[in-house]
Amino acid sequence: MRLRLVREALDDDDFIFELKHDGFRGVVYVEEQQCRLASRNQRSLKFASLKTSLAKLPVDNVILDGEIIARWYTVAADGSYLNTPYEDLSYKWAGGGFLSTAEDLVRFGSALLNAGFLKQDTLKMLFSPQKMTSGQETKYGFGWFIHDAEGPEKERQFEHSGGVAGSSAWLVIYPDRRVVIAWLQNSNDFRDWPVLQVASPFFAARK
């Protein structure tokens, strides 16, 4: 089931082709309404609800090879979750758009805690509030929102968030605590309170 390089794409009426997504490569084995789900290296994959659904396929025995992907959701006005329609995001590639993980985002944020990845002068520029032509100071640096500490309940933080096509992301740096948190979710129902809850134990441990 491993990929291999070929000179020409497969074109055969006996095969069905589908769009390539980014997800977990999975091999499904269904036998007598029992389902086993494994990686291409035959490591067991959980996804309990998926296995329950696949076990109900109207077949006696089948092996399926594909990808397990998360759907993107949009929250409707009544609070229900709807599948987000497909959106072609290839226009972002020219502007440096990329796919990342929470772990990679945390590594990136951690690299900005000290000079090294970037020079100290560059870091100062990134995290210094910019001024308008009138001289009024904003709460925005170069690509980062700047929030000053407001008593013991609100730590100083640098953050940036974004969302598109039923997904949301938030990267938060607490420079004084040296804590970096990345939050990714597959819906546009973004709220900051989960991030604050995640940060609290780190603050308590570093007092």
pLDDT in tens, 34-43: 999 998 788 8
| Mean pLDDT of all residues in 110-125 | 94
Q: Of 155, 183, 153, which is closest to residue 167 (Cα–Cα)?
A: 183
- Cα 67 to Cα 20, 87, 95, 166: the distances in Å are 8, 19, 28, 20
CA angle 35, 38, 41 (to 5 degrees): 155
pLDDT at 6: 77
pLDDT at 205: 57
Q: What is the pTM of this model?
A: 0.65
Q: For 119-207, where are the E strands, in sequence order?
A: 145-147, 157-164, 167-174, 179-185
| Mean pLDDT of all residues in 7-30 | 76
Structural domains of the chain, ranges and CATH numbers in brackets: 1-69 (no CATH), 93-205 (3.40.710.10)
